[in-house]
């Protein structure tokens, strides 16, 4: 019975600030600023830390992408290596920057290296892209 009384009291006090001591406001809290979130996250694997997109797919960078301003993977290359698309209004977030591709679309880069997923990866966590050529590397947070 004591548990029920304590639970009821806790629910009553937490239900509405206006009920607690007759103070408070029933107005909703102001909206938080629209903060852009990171386009990728870091996961730990047996091989160490790596970057994955928000769906868990391994992210790669291309050795020939060295300028920090453009992507060297266009046309047929994008059939195998999908650029990590960024919205048109994307802004840099931490170590992530935005690069404009030759077709005008935007893509994410990590420390100024454009990021891609591999068509060879079928499920989250796969890292089959490194087997296709030595010019592609798994993106790691401490490169």
pLDDT averaged per 10 residues, the chain (length 143): 38 42 51 64 91 96 90 93 95 94 95 95 91 84 69
Q: Could you tell me if residue 114 is inside a domain? A: yes
Q: Could you tell me if residue 111 is inside a domain? A: yes
In the chain, the N- to C-terminal Cα span, in Å, equals 60
Q: Could you tell me if residue 26 is inside a domain? A: no
- Asked whether the beta carbons of 55 and 49 are under 8 A apart, the reply is no
- What pLDDT shows up at residue 67? 86
Q: Could you tell me if residue 18 is inside a domain? A: no
Residue 75: strand, helix, or coil: coil
How many domains does the chain fold into?
A: 1
For the whole model, what pTM was predicted?
A: 0.72
Range of the domain at 131: 40-138
């Amino acid at each position: 019975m004591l548990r029920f009384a304590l639970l009821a009291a806790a629910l009553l006090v937490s239900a509405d600030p206006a009920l607690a001591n007759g103070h408070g406001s029933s107005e909703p809290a102001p909206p938080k600023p629209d903060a852009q979130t990171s386009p990728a996250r870091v996961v730990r694997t047996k091989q160490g830390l790596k970057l994955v997109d928000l769906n868990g797919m391994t992210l790669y960078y291309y050795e020939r992408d060295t300028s920090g301003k453009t992507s060297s993977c266009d046309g047929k290359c994008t059939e195998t290596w999908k650029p990590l698309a960024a919205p048109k209004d994307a802004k840099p977030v931490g170590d992530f920057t935005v690069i404009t591709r030759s077709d005008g679309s935007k893509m994410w880069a990590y420390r100024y290296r454009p990021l891609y997923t591999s068509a060879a990866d079928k499920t989250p966590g796969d890292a089959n892209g490194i087997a296709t050529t030595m010019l592609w590397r798994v993106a790691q947070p401490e490169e």
